Structure 1
Amino acid sequence: MPGEDVSTRIEDSLLRSLARVTGSAAPPRLAAALTHAVFPGGQRIRPRLCLSVALACGDDQPLVSGAAAAAVEFLHCASLVHDDMPCFDNAMMRRGRPSVHAAHGEALALLAGDGLITLAFETVAMAAVADPVRSASLSLIIARSVGMPHGIVAGQGWESEAAPDLGLYQRAKTGALFAGAAMAGAAAAGCAAEPWGATGHLLGEAYQVADDIADVVGEARALGKPVGQDVFHGRPSAVQEFGIGGAARRLMALVEEAAERVPDCAGADALRAQIRAQASRFLPKEAAQHAA
């Protein structure tokens, strides 16, 4: 994905949106929990995908695409806050430091996740000043990527089922927000969103496979979060289904298919090259030898 300018745009959009709701009128402890959930960030892969697609499609409304990218990241951060809580993973570490509930308590973590979800939709709604039609389209895209029956809420719900289908689980748990990010980028630039869903879903599945591999071969210190969670919680994973080698090869195939499925647009060739360049970053180095 593009470099420093995209990163700066993402961080600036997140800062501006978060500042609206964490000022002096806000409950200070809850404001601190929201800030903790968003900053410092991880790789910002989803908002980077959103802006990359917008740029490939012309990005003629940067205010709208910036809002879309921020909304996608707020929803991702909210999902991490809730996923880490004791009722789900009970993870005490995220992004190399205490998770939100570990630092601020369960009650404030629950409210912080809720607050980030509403902030995502507020951020998109405020982009209507630039283009109300695109803003409305973005609301629907991101709502479907997080809600029922196919979004990340459903993905979390599949973990409560006795024998979830791996494909359905990963498509909702991870793929849905990647697809939403790609579609939102296209919609923000005034292009048809639906054709971008396939590329987003494939990248999301690739990222989930990488996460499954890292959960087995990675180290908590390097990843900034606990490992061994899939086995501990009895969750389905690509490693369980395909083995390390099979999962690594599947990851590479998914990235290549995602690149091939990029719809025709002015920046298609550049975006395909960027997606292929990400494959080495997706695949944990401990598993790279198994991909051959």
Structure 2
Amino acid sequence: MDATSRIERALAAAVARAEGLGGPPKLAEAMHYSVFPRGARIRPRLCLAVARACGDDEPAITDAAAASIELMHCGSLVHDDLPCFDDADIRRGKPAVHKAFGEQIAVLAGDALIVMAFQVLAWATVSRPERLSHLMLTLGRAVGAPSGIIAGQAWECEPVIDLAEYQQEKTGALFAAATVMGAAAAGMEAEPWRLLGERLGEAYQVADDIRDVASSREDLGKPIGQDAALGRPSAVAQLGMQGALARLKDLAAGAVAAIPDCPGAAELRAHILSESQRLVPPKLAAAAA
């Protein structure tokens, strides 16, 4: 089964549990709406790619790890879009969850997806409980304080922000979790994979800063110009467009160099380079090459 099919199957199975009899139907509908139809699924595909490079001896655990990362990501997007944060009215080309279901349900749906991310890991590791603790702790580190995505969001409430630290926490934390959890799900030594995820996460955030300036609302499926409008730190604002493109190229090269020795290293290098090229708006691709 290809990576996309594996991810969608694992996510569908997880969300179906929230849609069981007896639960609040509006909450279940909002959770499903938050996860489907799919986005790019960059983080779970990275998790699967690392696990494959490491042998992927327990595909069910790998699928659960990938799904847990995407559930966490989707939950964080629901919260990011709320009026108290980005006040974004669209996400993935459709009304944001708080626009479709109201703010109260949006808060609860985001919370429920975050909790479900940990449940998915527990459900999948019954036969290999020795792998659970590392997976759970890695995901928790990527989410909370002082260095997870919640901390990254909180930096937007501070008067002084360090761009690299902010980007590492707001975006890099889940990418690092994807690479570490991919290796851990496959039973490999996992921490050597953290640097790869951190560099990819920073690269993705730089690319997102570029797209926020150079793409259209239709292409992104969400509002553009948000960094400037909300006064958020941005690689483009700090480095200029050409500087940001150069930084993205350096980060992609650094990510490839950070891949630990493993049976599938060559395939993984090709995957990362391909993903890096997809991040740049087509009209800027030549400048980034």
TM over 0.5: yes
Equivalent position to 2:225, from 225, 228, 231: 228
Whole-angstrom distance in 1 between the partners of 2:209 and 2:55:
35
The code of the aligned residue for 1:191 comes to M
How many residues align structurally? Answer: 289
The question of whether the paired residues in 2 share the 8 Å contact of 1:244 and 1:290 is answered with: no
Q: Hey, what does 2:73 align to over in structure 1?
A: 76
Whole-angstrom distance in 1 between the partners of 2:177 and 2:22:
32
Q: Hey, what does 1:106 align to over in structure 2?
A: 103
Q: Hey, what does 2:207 align to over in structure 1?
A: 210
Equivalent position to 1:36, from 30, 33, 37: 33
Q: Hey, what does 1:9 align to over in structure 2?
A: 6
Q: Hey, what does 1:151 align to over in structure 2?
A: 148
Q: Hey, what does 2:49 align to over in structure 1?
A: 52
Moved more, 134-143 or 19-28: 19-28
TM-score (norm 1): 0.97
SS in 2 for 1:54: helix
Q: Which runs of 5+ in 2 are unaligned?
A: none
1:11-40 Cα shifts (integer Å, max 9, x gaps): 000000111121222111110000010001
The code of the aligned residue for 2:238 comes to E
SS in 1 for 2:168: helix
Structure 1 vs Structure 2 CA RMSD: 1.0
Q: Hey, what does 1:173 align to over in structure 2?
A: 170
Deviation at 1:291, TM superposition (A): 2.6
1:145-202 Cα shifts (integer Å, max 9, x gaps): 1111001000000111112000000000000000001100000000111111100011
Whole-angstrom distance in 2 between the partners of 1:243 and 1:289:
17
1:114-135 Cα shifts (integer Å, max 9, x gaps): 0001100000011221210112
The question of whether the paired residues in 2 share the 8 Å contact of 1:64 and 1:135 is answered with: no
Which runs of structure 2 are paired with 1:267-282 in the superposition (5 Å)?
267-282=264-279
Q: Hey, what does 1:263 align to over in structure 2?
A: 260
Whole-angstrom distance in 1 between the partners of 2:279 and 2:253:
12
Q: Hey, what does 2:117 align to over in structure 1?
A: 120
Equivalent position to 2:58, from 58, 61, 70: 61
Runs of 4+ in 1 over 6 A off after TM superposition: none
**Does the alignment pair 1:198 with 2:195?**
yes
Moved more, 271-280 or 238-247: 271-280
Whole-angstrom distance in 1 between the partners of 2:276 and 2:121:
30
The code of the aligned residue for 2:54 comes to C
Q: Hey, what does 1:188 align to over in structure 2?
A: 185
Q: Which runs of 5+ in 1 are unaligned?
A: none
Whole-angstrom distance in 2 between the partners of 1:278 and 1:181:
15
Whole-angstrom distance in 2 between the partners of 1:143 and 1:273:
29
Equivalent position to 1:254, from 247, 251, 255: 251
Moved more, 24-33 or 168-177: 24-33
SS in 2 for 1:264: coil
The question of whether the paired residues in 2 share the 8 Å contact of 1:61 and 1:130 is answered with: no
SS in 2 for 1:221: helix
**Does the alignment pair 1:238 with 2:226?**
no
The code of the aligned residue for 2:192 comes to P
The question of whether the paired residues in 2 share the 8 Å contact of 1:218 and 1:286 is answered with: no
The code of the aligned residue for 2:10 comes to S
SS in 1 for 2:223: coil
Whole-angstrom distance in 1 between the partners of 2:239 and 2:73:
27
Whole-angstrom distance in 2 between the partners of 1:56 and 1:290:
31
